[in-house]
Amino acid sequence: MRDGGPQWTLTVPTGGDTLRQERLTRNLHDTLERADGLVVGFHDADGPAEPGRKGTGVGEVALWAATTATVVRPASQVLITLIKEWCAKERHRKVVVTIAGDSIEITGRPDAAQERMVREFQDRISGNDGPEPDDSAP
């Protein structure tokens, strides 16, 4: 299913509107697929979830994303930035990003508190996604 680094699960909540969720998830997939160093795909909604993990709900569409190559910035930073840009195109867009049992919801109109929570999330998972940042870089 993937090569390389850790795997994220990306879910686009739409309040039960499965057609809208599928459309938005496919659009997010297309956006992320164009990014260098990332590979994305659709979770198999019909398959069993891994032991001890929640599966996607019936009719719910979710993506997985992973790195394919070493990137200059940590992979989580690249992925989160792309998701934030995608969400910003429409203020009602949301994406729930989950990795290693930790998750964050990113919205199209983040306030200061959400921006802080996203930074804290990235700090918590930064050890899971690639080379350490180069502190000597400007």
SS3 state at 42: strand
What share of the chain has pLDDT > 90, as a percent?
Answer: 45
Q: What is the pTM of this model?
A: 0.76
| Residues 41-93 pLDDT 10s | 998 754 444 444 444 444 568 999 887 655 545 777 888 999 999 999 998 99
Average pLDDT of span 111-125: 91
Nearest Cα residue to 66 out of 35, 101, 25: 35
Amino acid at residue number 41: G
Reported confidence tier of residue 4, pLDDT bands at 50, 70, 90 = low
CA distance 87 to 81: 10
CA distance 128 to 130: 6
For residue 5, the 8-state DSSP code is S
CA distance 80 to 118: 8
What share of the chain has pLDDT > 70, as a percent?
Answer: 72
Contact (CB, 8 A) for 12 and 28: yes
The predicted pLDDT at position 75 comes to: 72
